[in-house]
Chain A
Amino acid sequence: MTQEELRELIEKYLTEDLSQQEFQLLWSALEEPGNREIWNEMIQSVWENPMYHGLSDDHIKEKALDRLRPLLTEEVIPPMVPDQKPLVRWLARGGAWWAAAVFVVMCCVGAYLLFFRQAQPQQTGNTDSIAAKNDVAPGSNKALLTLSDGSTVPLDSVGNQLIRQGATTIRQHNGLLQYKAQGAESGIAYNTLTTPRGGQFKIVLPDGTKVWLNAASSIRYPIAFTQNERRVTISGEVYFEVAGNAAKTFMVDVNGSTEVEVLGTHFNINAYKDEAAINTTLLEGKVKVNVNQQPGVILKPGQQASLSTNGTFQVFKDVDTAQVIAWKEGWFQFHLANLPEVMRQVARWYDVEVNYKGDITDAVFEGRIQRDLNLAQMLKILEKYHVRFHVEGKTITVLPG
């Protein structure tokens, strides 16, 4: 076949359908040395010709991006050998020098084992079975609103409704609940918004303060802030962006032990009872954290006050605040997290029980994973790091690695 004939054949391929013989002919021609160049040249003219572009559409594009996303995040979560910074933080937490040394050795052993094992491809045969059985959907916008008279209103991500309570209008729009006071409210009435495991919700309080509730969390607040201070009570994990009002201090009560006096704006409180500490992290502005009725400490942005369950109270500097509020942006984010720490978040978000069988891997996890994956996809990512699971209904058993 001459070069000219080949060009014609390629052009025919592009403008019409080739017969089977012609198609075979084209491909055997392309296997001849030198002919690939002609093909490449013609492909390049397609690539560079804007006339041929514009064939995609939003639907195709979105679909592709959706499929790509989980593949991108899988990479970002390799277990790692901790660098200097976490070591300093560990010491700052009051750990003795030897404890820090043991910790580093532990991580190194963990990381060594992981990297070493990674070199040999390992069968994760039960992945398919996880995916095949009834998969668990990720958490979504859902919550329960308890009104002052004790009646309850279930809220989900598709609801749009207006609820009237005295002089206050409550508007639900998808995953957001918004309070609007119209006229003076007499007396104090409280509402409570509670998210279940596997739920999250956002609320705008009557003063304009924005509040994000993570799974298994709650906030109790007056439907109008008529007192001298604006006081709310929370549990679980909550992020606040407090609306400024110098005349009325904003106060947050946490599990009865910690009180956050808000002098500024953005902060996160993690007060899950199954976590080792109540952590208040400040992103912007100024807050004062009072513990057990003692006069407290003032936090600056980037600092975290931590009250551990054994009563130790500490302040950490230069905390990775992006990690702290990753949940609100739709991510699980782990920083030197051990497996139980990872699995506690998984359990809350997917509303599943987690059990352990045998030794738990001492690997530490670093990185982020989106929260909108199904449970099977999430576990599949963890399995890449040689964690093995057995899933039955809503119970996950972590098997020895």
Chain B
Amino acid sequence: MTTSRYTDRTLLLRMAAGEEDAFNQLFNNYWDKVYSTALVLTKSNQIAEDIAQEVFLRMWQNRHKTDIIDNLDGFLFITARNLVYNKLSRLKLEAAYTNYLQHHFSLSEPDTETGTEFRQLQSILEEGMRQLPPQQQKAFRLSRENGLSHEEISHQMGVSRATVKDYIVRAIAFLRKYLQEHALGLFLLILSRLK
């Protein structure tokens, strides 16, 4: 976050006084962090958007409270964390998730019907991968296309295993979002296919 605590505090006091402009600035400063975290954790663009919106709505609704004014970052983190947990634990029970997974696995062997779709998706995915920073792209390709373990990628790229993990988490979150935007709902196939 590039904003200083001092600036945040001024903005928080202005927001507490009901200034929407201050809300907008705080929204601008923190949106990316909240949304990105929710996306990495839920792996769904739609769920991440809903959660991040809810986080900022709660920030506004609780703007008078001291726990926001004293530590906004902490408030946003805890609110996001709770919403993610609730959403995922509900997802566990939801038929939607079961379908999602069944769909995901049952279609993992291509047949003629899904072949065209598969090729389309592959080209969209390729586009998305090209937009990744080089290191992330490399780690992701080594993992999915060459089937290397994190350990092997770590040796090959000369970075720590933790960094490999970071690259891959980031790449997956980005690609899921990219595919959701460009290939609507059919994205699930491809990430598993490439394993």
Chain A contact residues, CB within 8 Å of chain B = 11, 14-17, 19-20, 23-24, 27, 30, 36, 39-40, 43-44, 46-47, 49, 51-56, 60-61, 63-65, 67-68, 71-73, 75-76
Contact = CB atoms under 8 A, between A and B. Distances in A.
Given A53-B33, A55-B40, A56-B39, 5 more contacts: A17-B191, A44-B77, A63-B49, A64-B52, A73-B20
A76 B81 CA distance: 28
Nearest to A69: B20
Interface string B116-158: 0000000000000000000000000000000000100000000
A68 B59 CA distance: 11
A54 B191 CA distance: 21
Contacts of A73: 20
Interface string B173-195: 11001000000000000011001
B169 to A, nearest CB: 5
A52 B49 contact: no
A142 B170 CA distance: 47
Nearest to A367: B18
B117 to A, nearest CB: 19
Contact of A67 (B20, B28, B53): B53
Give the 6 A-B residue pairs with the shortest CB-CB distance, closest first. Answer: A55-B36, A56-B35, A27-B92, A20-B101, A53-B36, A56-B32
Interface of B: 18, 20, 23-24, 27-28, 31-33, 35-37, 39-41, 45, 49, 52-53, 56-57, 60-61, 77, 80-81, 84-85, 88-89, 92, 97-98, 101-102, 104-105, 150, 165-170, 172-174, 177, 191-192, 195
Contacts of B40: 14, 46, 52, 55
Contacts of A39: 85
Contacts of A46: 37, 40-41, 169
A64 B92 contact: no
Nearest to A64: B53
A19 B60 CA distance: 38
A329 to B, nearest CB: 11
Given A20-B101, A39-B85, A51-B170, A56 B195 contact: no
10 contacts: A15-B169, A19-B101, A20-B97, A20-B98, A23-B101, A43-B84, A52-B37, A53-B33, A55-B39, A76-B18
Nearest to A49: B166
B67 to A, nearest CB: 17
Nearest to A21: B101
Contacts of B92: 23-24, 27
A61 B60 contact: no
A23 B173 CA distance: 18
Nearest to A28: B92
Contacts of B84: 43
Contact of B89 (A27, A53, A60, A76): A27
B57 A52 contact: no
A72 B169 contact: no
Contacts of B170: 51-52, 55
A249 B173 CA distance: 64
A71 B166 contact: no
A297 B114 CA distance: 81
A341 B53 CA distance: 34
Contacts of A40: 81
Given A23-B101, A24-B92, A64-B49, A47 B57 contact: no
Of listed B24, B36, B77, B85, residue having the most chain A CB within 10 A: B36
